[in-house]
Structure 1
Amino acid sequence: MIIAAVIIVSSMSSPMAGSISDNSPSQVSGEQIGSQSSEKLVESSGSEELIAAVGTHGGEPETGFNPITGWGKSSEPLVQSTLFKRDSEANLIKDLATDYAISDDGLRWTVKIRNDVKFHDGTPLTAKDVAFTFNTAANASGGTDLSVLEKAIATDDYTVEFELNDPQTTFVNKLIAVGIVPEHAYNAETYGSNPIGSGPYRFVQWDKGQQVIFEANPDYYGQEPHFKKLTLIFMASDAAFAAAKAGQVDLAEIPASYAYQTVDGMKIVSLDSIDARGISFPMNPNTGEKTENGYAIGNNVTSDPAIRKALNIGIDRQALIDGALNGQGKEEFTGVDKLPWGNKEAIFEDGDIEEAKKILAEGGWKDTDGDGIVEKNGLKAEFTLTYPASAQERQALAVSVGEEAKKLGINIKVEGKSWDEIYTLCYSSPNVWGYGSLDPTDIYLRYYSKSYDPSTRNNVIMYNNSVVDNYLRTAMTSSDQDTAIKNWQLAAWDGTTGFSEKGDAPWLWMATINYVYIMDEDLDIGTPRIQPHGANIFGNILEWKRA
């Protein structure tokens, strides 16, 4: 697998693995608007300060910088430490943890932690804080799904045991996702606005809707960061580019449409990601059934496999990338192509309009009235495709898919909606989603039949394949990594069935997007971490320096 960090002309290789090495860094993100002066938005007294506008993916956290409610879920939480992290090649590395062991039945995980860590207020971090964090996060039903955790117990000052209710080997990813908070200083109502952690940076100030400021932690147990002060400006991507062009920020996340711009004194950096864009297809016909919340279930067009397969085969993914994403992306066929559990055998040849039309015809879909739209038993091959109205690249992809579908005789009506609206429609209407995680649990929640849950939007299309279910359960509970990976792959395609296009085609995966940044020419960001859904530009912040 290749994960590239491209300064438009260069790249770096990033294979994936799973061994444990030693300690490594952190992350953050942002969103909003700023002034248009030629001065930096925040006064900077030297090269050891960094001002960044990185608000497009992730944005300003609604509940503040609180891991219990989701801060740092898919990236490293700058203020807090985690038990483990992943390096630029996705190897598991130690942060607070020094060692761990798993019981034979897979239901008890024992983690040893460092004895030299202090919170930013000088209080020692102990196993009680770790247990408190995980128990609180599990009870809060926050940003990280900890439903598998029965309870966490501190057995001594530097040992914590996690008791699980299901032997899920992917639990290690929860130990990466949750930043540790101090039991003595945690208040659910106020912590997010004034967080205390033990990470490489300590919180200084949050001006809601504008910026947040962090300063280097002088007592940090790891590598000392070059940048002693970080100011993150919450700014939308178009405004961020304007701010960078005006010399107001050192770094900004920008739209793909600006990827080939030239700005004096700055460079464009385009990072490959595992953040995939895909369209969910409701699998059941519309019989009038509703969810427990009263939302319609099923779609009479997308429930037909010929429609789903024809779209998967007929859509030209590279054309979508070249047009909708300005070339800033890679083709995606299963949602996890680049990951170790991606199945190369499930990848297929796309952009084949004639084959797509053949699939439709064999499925009984024909244009009998000459209006350019195929129909079957009086039902037109048309449906509404929703996308979050605030996401420019998803809108562009949705529109492009609609244009490609016309060539097949399928009419797609594209509509931008708020997430609140999408959550009421996604059981009956296809939607453009974004997923990208180093945790294969995402696959399980998306395709395992029993994971359907209207409250979490897991398996909203109600996909149900007993063979796939068996592969997913085996992968989820196997203590042998090779066995787990093999079963994740078989769930996509085993030669007969699976969740890929070659099987049931419940999704149309289109592309992984690139994260595009403009930054000072002298800014050296080292070897970036793999970019998940939501971005992780600050994942290796301890490597950053001025060249």
Structure 2
Amino acid sequence: MRNIVNIILLTVFASLVMVGCSNDSKSKTGSKEEVAKKGGTVRIAMSTEVDNLDPYLSAATDTSSMMDNVFDGLLDTDESGQLIPALAKEYKISDDGLTYTFQLNEGVLFHDGSELTAEDVVYSYSKLAGLNGNEPHSSKFEIVETVEATSDYEVVVTLKERDSAFLARNIAAIVPQDYEEQSTEPIGTGPFKFKEYKVGQELILVKNEDYYQKDKMPKIDEVQFKIMPDQESSILAMQAGDIDVIPGVTAQGLNQLGDSVETVSGPQNMVQLMAMNHEVKPLNDVRVRQAINYAIDKDVIIETVAEGKGTKLGSNMSPAMALYYEEGLEDYYNPDVEKAKALLKEAGYEDGFTMELTVPSDYQFHVDTAQVIVEQLNQINIQTEIKQIEFSTWLEDVYNNRKYETTIVGFTGKLDPFEVLGRYVSDYHKNFMNFKNDQFDALIKQAIAETDEAEMATLYKEAQTILTEEAAAVFIMDPDRTIAMRENLEGFKMYPIQKFNLEDLLFKE
């Protein structure tokens, strides 16, 4: 069973290889003569505020990217998407696929000096799965039936039923037993320690001198994440020498920076979409949702908003996940204004209607996308008003409470196809689009229990087709991500999930 699962994972993750480490600005000269300089402080501009320092309470991708350096999981991922050892040096899976046994590294220290043991894993997974008598912190861990420490350095996890997606979930942070101050003074085992957080200003991490992975010991001393929602301010700060890294810089920003920076770029394995609340009229009518899809020209959005650097999508899967990606869906709704109008007439909305498009103001890319969509929907008499709100408010109103009509969002990359498509399962508690389809649910359930990779891929492809045919959302693109960094800084890598490998950064003299 273990061999079968490993083959599946290796095949899937090999298909996620990203276009990484490509220098788009200028190549270095004389780099062989440059000498690595240990130490120093790296300042990174972040466009969004921290939503919660506790890894089990945070929902924001940017926050997870920053705090991932404070916490380690049993497993980690490399830049190709393959799972690699972290706190667990090895694991085995039972023949029935229900029992996972992890052997932990010994001598691992939390940032408070206490040693990691199997009891910390039991505590962490019990919180995630709700085995401690409280509500689960993650619905993805509700599949866990028991977690047992069979020795100081061995943990046995038993699932309620077979779940092919579970292994990839073991990148989840492990926290120290009975410590409840993660939201204010987070403690993990990662390569960097938490130092300070100032709301709306900065998050500071410092090198963990006791990091257990000696080959991944950080080369820099400190990382300062500067909260800068306005990218123009970030550009000016980098030009002034006050910022070293801008993740997700725009093409216009790169033009402003000129030859003073190096870049790393590639696909993100992210799906940008316009989500529609299926419980709000008239969006509960599939014909209306299809009309909206026919009215929106994704190619125009890619050219104008992403400046051509994006891959057009037709369902909630990026071609970065090649094994599971269903080709051809990106052209299912070729722009057709007349067809869109006919569908609206059939649905009883010949004269159109008005609706609200809620957008997190912290993400200019989504705001720009919304502005293009407003103009395109105007062609079929759908008058759309953009409502900009802060991301923290978006999380509360849209993601948690489903109080919205339509919104623009980016679903970040995951390491397993279920983590991508499971968002649309009817009873998934974060299915904020309120998408419900019995056939889709059945396909996902079959895929989770499947161990044959070819059959699993077929099931996930069928599920994608349903999302497209039912116009679950307007699936727009997987935009390329470009990281701009100062000339003498190097080491950033691209991953199939948004991840900052701060331990690899170094300055060159």
Of 323, 344, 348, 2:331 maps to 348
Q: Which residue of 2 aligns with 1:306?
A: 287
> Is structure 2 residue 193 aligned with structure 1 residue 220?
no
Of 422, 425, 433, 2:398 maps to 422
CA contact (8 A) 1:120 1:197 kept: yes
CA RMSD of aligned residues (A): 3.1
Asked which structure has the greater RCO (Cα within 8 Å, sep 6+), the reply is 2
Shift of 1:314: 4.0
Q: Normalising to structure 1: TM-score of the pair?
A: 0.76
Q: Which residue of 2 aligns with 1:244?
A: 238
Is there any run of 5+ residues in structure 1 with no aligned partner, and where? Answer: 12-45, 284-296, 367-374
Q: Which residue of 1 aligns with 2:385?
A: 413
Distance 1:343 1:87, change over 3 A: same
SS at match of 2:102: strand
Shift of 1:459: 4.9
CA distance in 2, matches of 1:142, 1:240: 34
Distance 1:385 1:69, change over 3 A: closer
CA distance in 2, matches of 1:377, 1:91: 49
Q: Which residue of 2 aligns with 1:333?
A: 314
Of 501, 509, 515, 2:481 maps to 515
Is there any run of 5+ residues in structure 2 with no aligned partner, and where? Answer: 1-14, 28-36
CA contact (8 A) 2:44 2:223 kept: no
CA distance in 1, matches of 2:43, 2:490: 14
CA distance in 2, matches of 1:47, 1:304: 60
> Is structure 2 residue 164 aligned with structure 1 residue 173?
no
Of 388, 400, 405, 2:372 maps to 400
Q: Which letter maps to 1:470?
A: A
CA offset digits 1:305-337 (Å, max 9, x no partner): 333233334422121122233444332221212
Q: Which letter maps to 2:475?
A: W
Equivalent residue pairs, number: 465
Of 14, 19, 27, 1:4 maps to 19
Q: Which residue of 1 aligns with 2:352?
A: 380
CA offset digits 1:321-365 (Å, max 9, x no partner): 222334443322212122242211433265533xx523542x462
Shift of 1:116: 3.5
Which structure features the higher share of helix residues?
2
Distance 1:103 1:424, change over 3 A: closer
Q: Which residue of 1 aligns with 2:467?
A: 499
Q: Which residue of 2 aligns with 1:234?
A: 227
CA distance in 1, matches of 2:399, 2:204: 34
Q: Normalising to structure 2: TM-score of the pair?
A: 0.81
CA contact (8 A) 1:337 1:344 kept: no
Q: Which residue of 2 aligns with 1:43?
A: none
Shift of 1:490: 1.6
CA distance in 2, matches of 1:143, 1:248: 38
CA contact (8 A) 1:70 1:143 kept: no
Distance 1:320 1:98, change over 3 A: same
Identity among equivalent pairs (%): 22
Distance 1:337 1:205, change over 3 A: closer
CA contact (8 A) 2:100 2:156 kept: yes
Q: Which residue of 2 aligns with 1:134?
A: 125
CA distance in 2, matches of 1:9, 1:233: 24
Q: Which residue of 2 aligns with 1:40?
A: none
CA distance in 1, matches of 2:122, 2:401: 38
SS at match of 2:257: coil
Of 184, 187, 196, 2:179 maps to 187
Q: Which letter maps to 1:347?
A: E
SS at match of 1:54: strand
CA contact (8 A) 2:219 2:506 kept: yes
Q: Which residue of 1 aligns with 2:255?
A: 260
CA distance in 1, matches of 2:146, 2:196: 34
CA contact (8 A) 1:526 1:544 kept: yes
